[in-house]
Structure 1
Amino acid sequence: MHVRLTLLAAARSSSVLDVRFDDDRPLDAAGWQEVQRMIPALAHLAAAELRYCSPSARCRETGDVLGLTPLAQPALRDCDMGRWRGRTLQEVTALEPDAVDQWLSDPRAAPHGGESLLAFIQRVGAWLDTRPVQDGGWAVAVTEPSVVRAALCYVLRAPPHAYWHVEPQSLAALTVTGRPGEWSVHLV
């Protein structure tokens, strides 16, 4: 079985300075404009046999604006950040600097009481490996940028710390081809 999966990072829901952990805010005005401007370049995604999204408001809205009518997938939700949910990195660092250092340096650590980075990457990888796409088929998912990062780490079998070196921009697409456990990155 050989399939193609395209992960599209959702449009923005806040300015870069206001990015919050596990944020469920809808698209902001700039995000709406960004998606509308990109409709011609991304219209081909509607041809995918299966169309999914992360359950967050901005992912659902990005998919809807693109005409995908995506099905929300709980496994594509952002990393569970426990008690840090809704806070910025700057806020958390001011309150819990040692916990932030531990989280950034140990992929098995979850000092926030949520999900470790390693568990997050494995969850996203398990979702990739269980897509019900027919041989030769194509699926698209509008996801959080963090999910794109985790998927890339999983597909490349990169060490978890590589996650911190991937920065998907709004509406960036990652396409992988292959089959469960044997993925390749397709660059366009």
Structure 2
Amino acid sequence: MHLRVTLLPAARSSSVLDVRFDDERPLDSAGWQEVQRVVPVLSSLAAAQLRYCSPSARCRQTGDLLGLSPIAQPALRDCDMGRWRGRTFQEVAAREPRTVDAWLADPWSAPHGGEPLLAFISRVGGWLDTRPVDGDDWVVAVTEPSVVRAALCYVLRSPPHSYWRIDAHPLSPVTFTGRPGQWCLSFE
């Protein structure tokens, strides 16, 4: 028995230059249009036995537009960025350059008062490892791009600094197969 887990980064809620830490904004018009364009390609995701999403508005809206009717999972929320929440990387780096450098260099640090990167990766990995395996089930989750990056680090057992080298593009699915503690990246 094995499980198939597909993570789908949600459509955008802002331009790339306006991406904010722990962003709770809903889909913007460009994001709605992105989803409408890919519905024919991603409609097969609705065949999954279990359908989840990160608790943010844009993840739920992306899932609903794709016909998934996903259930929000608190463990799939974005990394808690503490006092940096709602700010762009550029804003924080301009105000606190040394703090940002320390945060990027040390995966255990949380100078923002939120969640360290390693704790975030472990939380996402814990969610993967607690999925019930019942036959050959398929789980789909619409998530924040950061959740996909964290899951890739966890599954591949890569060093935490590799998190910063992963691009998770909106509406680009990533699939893992296996069972708790024994995951493989699957190219479909």
Q: Structure 1 length normalisation: TM-score?
A: 0.99
The alpha carbon displacement at 1:132 in A equals 2.1
* Amino acid in the other structure paired with 1:116: P
Aligned-partner residue type, residue 60 of structure 1:
R
Identity %: 73
Matches within 5 A, 1:30-41: 30-41=30-41
What is the DSSP-based 3-state SS (H/G/I as helix, E as strand, rest coil) of the residue aligned with 2:128? helix
CA contact (8 A) 2:35 2:65 kept: yes
How many Å separate the matches in 2 of 1:92 and 1:152?
26
The equivalent residue for 1:97 is: 97
Aligned to 1:170: 170
Task: Indicate the residue corresponding to 1:158 in structure 2.
Answer: 158
Gaps of 5+ in 1: none
Q: Which runs of 5 or more residues in structure 2 are unaligned?
A: none
SS in 2 for 1:167: coil
Determine the structure 1 residue equivalent to 2:61.
Answer: 61
Map 1:99-178 → 2, pairs under 5 A: 99-178=99-178
CA distance in structure 2 between the partners assigned to 1:47 and 1:88 by the alignment: 36
Matched-pair contact (CA < 8 Å) for 2:133–2:179? no
Q: How far apart are the structure 2 equivalents of 1:11 and 1:187?
A: 21
**TM-score, L = length of structure 2:** 0.99
**Paired amino acid for 1:68:** L
Give the corresponding residue for 2:84.
84
Q: How many residue pairs get matched? A: 188
User: Alpha-carbon deviations, 1:55-92, whole Å to 9, x = none?
Assistant: 00000000000000000000000000000000000100
Give structure 1 regions of 4+ aligned residues with deviation exceeding 3 angstroms.
none
Asked whether the equivalents of residues 11 and 58 of structure 1 are also in contact (C-alpha less than 8 Å), the reply is: yes
Instruction: Name the CA distance, whole Å, in 2 between partners of 1:83 and 1:142.
Output: 26
